[in-house]
Structure 1
């Protein structure tokens, strides 16, 4: 009897482009600037991306361009959360607030936002998008990332 092995990774073959953005703006301000420069219609989704049972959450903006079969996502890579830390000094215990930082894609800790462009037809020119992004003065830098090289590419499935 022949043994057939089914690989789960074979089913998810989503083609998308990923652009990393270094920018200190708030997410809604960056979405507004992207809508102006790239002629998009990004809107905040009702629910954020929650990771590890509400340990961290990341804002996400989306626009589905049905005429060109392209879905645009702007997702935050950084979540800062204040947590209580309890430690003891001798006989006394002290409760202190500590700011913890979580990343959606831990391989790129310095990246503030990602633009994910999911397309059925390969018609989006990423070089043109990068040039338009560089023309926004509030963006420090932007570059393309190869999603197949990411260890945490499953975090970008939404």
Structure 2
């Protein structure tokens, strides 16, 4: 009888991932990236949804000249949680839960995913331009192969 083995991790990412730390709102960051990179990020009609409550905003730019798809993705999603407690003076107590797209990088505010089907050759130049934006605290490249939750970036 033949033994068949299934590979647990058959997906190998073919994109470049840049982590961005910034206090800006997502639309403001997209604006500054458009100014600095001469890009055309636009808010998509969809968000990255994991269930009915958790969703992550996404901006997209399809660079048809370089055959590259750029995505600016928020790393955090804050969800309001309703809890009923009988010990409180008020019946309903509201609290907030924070969820992360990439939980192993909780301190990252945004991810810039650059997908051209291989290794993005201009990653260093792009990284320097992103770091020139004054409202960005820091930006650096992350190896997607080392992420435990890299499947969250498949959409």
Matched residue of 1:136: which SS? coil
Structure-2 separation of matches of 1:103 and 1:123: 25
Calculate the TM-score normalised by the size of structure 2.
0.90
Structure 1 gaps, min length 5? none
Partner of 1:24: 23
Calculate the TM-score normalised by the size of structure 1.
0.88
Partner of 1:95: 92
Identify if the C-alpha distance between structure 1 residues 99 and 6 changes in structure 2 by more than 3 Å, giving closer, same or farther: closer
Indicate which of 100, 109, 113 corresponds to 1:116: 113
Asked if the contact 1:64–1:72 (Cα under 8 Å) also holds between the matched residues in 2, the reply is yes
Q: CA RMSD in A?
A: 1.8
Identify if the C-alpha distance between structure 1 residues 102 and 121 changes in structure 2 by more than 3 Å, giving closer, same or farther: closer
Structure-1 separation of matches of 2:134 and 2:80: 31
Structure-1 separation of matches of 2:119 and 2:143: 15
CA deviations over 1:116-155 (Å, ceiling 9, x no partner): 0111354532211111111101101111111111110000
Asked if the contact 1:77–1:105 (Cα under 8 Å) also holds between the matched residues in 2, the reply is yes
Report how many residues are paired.
155
Structure 2 gaps, min length 5? none
After superposition, residues 30-109 of structure 1 pair within 5 angstroms as 30-51=29-50, 53-89=51-87, 94-109=91-106
Structure-1 separation of matches of 2:97 and 2:14: 33
1:27 deviates by: 0.6
Task: Tell me which protein shows more strand as a share of its residues.
Answer: 1
Asked if the contact 1:56–1:102 (Cα under 8 Å) also holds between the matched residues in 2, the reply is yes
Give runs of ≥4 in structure 1 deviating > 6 Å.
none
